[in-house]
Amino acid sequence: MASQGGSLVKTNEINPVICLLISACLLFVAYNSLSVLLLGLFGETTVGILISYDTYLYDSNASPNRSRTVAKGYRFDVRGKEYKGHVIYGSDEAWPRLRDGEIRTERITYLAVLPGMNKPTHLVDFRVLGVGGLFFHILGIAGSLFLFRLVHRRLGTGVRTIKRLVNRE
């Protein structure tokens, strides 16, 4: 609330820094879900090499795929050019850490037109994701874009009508 001429006036403005932070998070969610869907539909698969691997146990009594956080760094070649990637996800896998000189391979799915968009294959395979995973990513795109528009107040006449009603009070 701001003081104006001795009376308190409500301001409906969102702090620009907070708005920017929320917008960045929502756009990241939309990008991540869109990349999973694009990679699952149009991706090509190659073999990459793990360059880092860490796993963190949080709860040994957790439900499946919720007990550990896995972090992987990898690299792969497409048409003679090297690309790198990094993912963090929940899983129950518990490999030992990479030792010096140890080489582990990982199947990587990438877009042929944009190899920088890539993920390990098991994170984008529709058979592994199942119907629930596909629904989650589709809903993630739609929901984050809806909330992005809501944050930026571009939902249409319904919001404008509500604003006019609030401003009359």
For residue 60, what pLDDT is reported? 79
For residue 67, what pLDDT is reported? 84
Q: Minimal CA–CA distance to 133: which of 40, 67, 58, 66?
A: 40
Amino acid at 92: D
- Judge whether 143 and 60 are in contact, CB under 8 Å: no
Tens of pLDDT along the chain (169 residues) come to 455 555 565 556 678 888 889 999 999 999 999 999 999 999 999 999 999 999 988 887 877 777 889 999 999 999 999 999 999 998 888 888 888 888 999 999 999 999 999 999 999 999 999 999 999 999 999 999 999 998 887 555 455 555 665 666 6
User: What is the separation, in whole angstroms, between the first and last Cα of the chain?
Assistant: 15
For residue 133, what pLDDT is reported? 94
For residue 169, what pLDDT is reported? 60
Q: Locate 54 and state its tokens.
A: 């860490």
Other beta carbons less than 10 A from residue 151's beta carbon:
15
Within 13 A of 149's CA, how many CA atoms are on the CB side? Answer: 10
Q: Minimal CA–CA distance to 152: which of 8, 27, 9?
A: 27
Task: Identify the three-state secondary structure at position 62.
Answer: coil
